Structure 1
């Protein structure tokens, strides 16, 4: 197993709008991040992943970029950003930036030129098509609901947007566009950043004919994912990007890849193929979605989670590398989704952290996870800011006459704004996030759940995470050991083994609020195991082959 700094790192994702506001305008900013770097350093973070801070009209909170080489005024200046990079490096941490190159903003000068005429030099920077029989060029649906096509009367054609209509898709078939993107990437890398997280990067290659997607239920629009996820030239494009840019720097790369399967992920992350180092796959994030998709709620079965995690743990072992995450800026809060955010909030958050950080791969912590922030339940749809939520609500409730309460419940459980409420720094007004009016409401539970309280309490989730991170830095088995699932059919206990250079690690977690007896199968050899970490007080003398797990208990044993 080849060793690398990015395999041994723990990454912390900052969603800047909601992190820390330094100037009282209600929006988190770059100077606000600098104020909190020591907090992250004390936590043990190696790498900060910064969600987009580029110039943007903010249709999709910065993922619609109008200028890839300037900083959004709300966040500060390029000088502020350079100060941030310097301060991160001064603390021995690294910075990776978001790379959003499947689409730009419709306010980007490329697109402004592209729509002027069919013979404009920038026309082919985007995907334009004439209509078919007075309708859209095909039946593809936007990820944010409705058609993936927008008509533009200037040239009497439609442009493709797999996300918002203000996020036109870039045409990667155009070699000049690709060169411009590579030059922009080099510009940032030459400034000293340490890598990229690449937004929906497996969408950049589309099947050239852009055919209609199968549509058995006869809806107006259909998911054309099979024609743009992992498309025909995707590996060629990424290998070219690696050759032209990434191979020239010592960087970390992770590609966000909805719908990616194991075979494709192996190709993306196999270090002999020179593409990327890691992928964010979504299989485990889709296990609590019914046949109707994300908003069709269904309970998560632990055996399904085991099947998914185990498949990725064993499938990429020795070939590629896993990214480990349970929440991010697009997902609900993990303690609300997979744990118990009421009476067992602290205990279940620690259990989930243990489960994740003991797997093979690079762990990603999403801001607020380390203090156990929870989902929010705003009463009014007007309190939500996310374009995906509003588009879905309009489609289902206003136009489709679905039940308001049912849809609001789905938003409370799955909405992206769950992750975007401001960080709860302390119990003062607006959770210490801002002196002004926050851009989105603060979760009302900030008086009892906040970073100040967590840092002062030695038994908090924050200090438990510090332990988890420290263990990863001192025990190579946690980073590099192989993985073996035990008790695969158990509905409440998730237990697994790690092995590396003669050492063994036993990880046992209870995903339920029941007391359950754990018994290690007799076939598992594990001698002289010592307790490494636990989220309850456990006697050193308690036998490790058989014991009673408390609700949401987690234990890790190590044997030499």
Structure 2
């Protein structure tokens, strides 16, 4: 089991990248590892310490690379193995670790395992998947991950003359983790990528990997033992390696995926992301404070990865209906902004109408919580979305580097681009891009950079004791960290109006505070009273320099 001293990832600032959409280095219209390597100085300057790579395995690419046909090779669209290794080694030289998606729940139906399995029901690969001559009754309420697009969890295969199980699309047959040989295959995949210097993995669809499949022979006997085996193997090979879990479950179930620190080391904080947007929509800190109170306490060395948006939809299926309604009304009022009747398929900046004050406020919240913050490429400059694209791909637009042709993403003819950048409206690359924001000290990009610098310079975010604080006005979100009498006090005004309030310090004493952002002084004796502008945020320290 790890110890907290080895948990570099709790101090990390994580940046998610879809390689195909980030930077095209060879001019073919598709982002690649050559382009990504060229942009490493930008990421290091931003303050990023860990890159999370979305799937780049060989794949038919019918589901953004989550339909893997070969776990041991790279999609040729994003480069060669040498390109990948050059990127990986260069990232290390810039002080940036790299983690990658481990898509272990399913494969593509073009994977050799599945092709062998469907042709011979006596071969070893047949039991790598979940087959049935007659599909069993589906449990009440069970449905595909993509309701409305996929109607059944079972699909008949003409060659196999049997039905196979899938939670995702019908071209993504589910692996059978009750089979020890499948688990060994996944460990071999982990071993392979660790050998090149990968620092860990984001485990895609973790709850589905260990879930019952409806058939006795395919239901894991010890579900959480599978995660323990995976974590144990990872730590044996790389003692500081990390497993990050995609676990979108109710809070009372989510905590089990940490185990005793011997299963998943970080969990994506899906619930909190939804409640943050609910707080922003209602201009009320209550939903955010409630969500924080529901979160299970992670074991030592484990934690929550806090984010606002990832590159899927913002999923409100496990949020009270009134909060979902508030968020949809405020941030996704049109049907084209919604997906699967549960989610918002929008980027952060357009959800907040491009208002830099609100975007900064939202980012400040995740940068000031316990647990590593995670942002996805482009949110640091406030890029938009393309709602003309289907489903989840609306948010996976090319990175906007400059106002030049193709947003500086690629020098290929525009007609060759696999996905075109946003070129009109408020979020056009001609208005929103890295090059212009680098010149402006008050730009969103430079503000995000300053917040990352402040977070990394403050050990209280990682080592301090979290303290529950409050304010006399519900529009103020107040939390803090304490250590040896020093208090780090974080205040966010969620309202679009001036708010005056008294801050309740919970019995802790401080004579004065200094705002780490602009060095303003605030007296706290006998009590701390604050007046905040609309959407203003303060990072206040009681420590005297």
Please classify the TM superposition score into its range, dividing by the shorter chain length.
0.7 to 0.9
Distance in 2 between the 1:179 and 1:489 partners?
Answer: 56
Distance in 1 between the 2:193 and 2:301 partners?
Answer: 29
SS of aligned partner of 1:371? coil
Distance in 2 between the 1:288 and 1:17 partners?
Answer: 29
Distance in 1 between the 2:140 and 2:173 partners?
Answer: 16
Question: In the alignment, is residue 24 of structure 1 matched against residue 6 of structure 2?
Answer: no
Distance in 1 between the 2:302 and 2:225 partners?
Answer: 18
Question: In the alignment, is residue 423 of structure 1 matched against residue 399 of structure 2?
Answer: yes
1:179 is matched with 184
- TM-score, L = length of structure 2: 0.83
Question: In the alignment, is residue 277 of structure 1 matched against residue 265 of structure 2?
Answer: yes
- After TM superposition, list the pairs within 5 Å mapping 1:445-456 onto structure 2: 445-456=428-439
Of 308, 311, 318, 1:329 maps to 311
Shift of 1:191: 1.2
SS of aligned partner of 2:11? coil
Question: How far does the alpha carbon of each residue in 1:114-135 deviate from its partner, in whole angstroms, 9 at most, with x for none?
Answer: 11132222001011122259x9
2:318 is matched with none
Of 422-431 and 253-262, deviating more is: 253-262
Shift of 1:289: 10
SS of aligned partner of 1:322? strand
Q: Which runs of 5+ in 2 are unaligned?
A: 314-345
Q: Does the CA contact (< 8 Å) of 2:304 and 2:372 recur in 1?
A: yes
2:456 is matched with 473
Distance 1:522 1:125, change over 3 A: closer
Residues matched between the structures, number: 492
Q: Which runs of 5+ in 1 are unaligned?
A: 212-226, 291-297, 390-415
2:8 is matched with 5
1:45 is matched with 48
- TM-score, L = length of structure 1: 0.81
SS of aligned partner of 1:6? helix
1:316 is matched with 298
Distance in 2 between the 1:518 and 1:317 partners?
Answer: 35
Q: CA RMSD in A?
A: 2.8
SS of aligned partner of 2:15? strand
Shift of 1:112: 0.7
Distance in 2 between the 1:430 and 1:279 partners?
Answer: 36
Distance 1:448 1:285, change over 3 A: same
Distance in 2 between the 1:138 and 1:126 partners?
Answer: 23
Question: In the alignment, is residue 131 of structure 1 matched against residue 134 of structure 2?
Answer: yes
Shift of 1:163: 0.8
SS of aligned partner of 1:447? coil
2:356 is matched with 346
2:169 is matched with 164
- After TM superposition, list the pairs within 5 Å mapping 1:219-298 onto structure 2: 233-249=222-238, 250-262=240-252, 264-270=253-259, 272-287=260-275
Question: How far does the alpha carbon of each residue in 1:245-276 deviate from its partner, in whole angstroms, 9 at most, with x for none?
Answer: 333212122111121534x4433325x44212
Distance in 1 between the 2:119 and 2:182 partners?
Answer: 17
Question: How far does the alpha carbon of each residue in 1:191-222 deviate from its partner, in whole angstroms, 9 at most, with x for none?
Answer: 111111111122112325459xxxxxxxxxxx
Of 507, 510, 521, 1:540 maps to 521
Q: Does the CA contact (< 8 Å) of 1:54 and 1:68 recur in 2?
A: yes
2:481 is matched with 498
Distance in 2 between the 1:289 and 1:523 partners?
Answer: 26
Shift of 1:465: 1.9
Question: In the alignment, is residue 109 of structure 1 matched against residue 112 of structure 2?
Answer: yes
Of 36-45 and 323-332, deviating more is: 323-332
Shift of 1:285: 4.0
Question: In the alignment, is residue 85 of structure 1 matched against residue 88 of structure 2?
Answer: yes
Of 328-337 and 345-354, deviating more is: 328-337
Shift of 1:136: 7.7
Of 443-452 and 32-41, deviating more is: 443-452
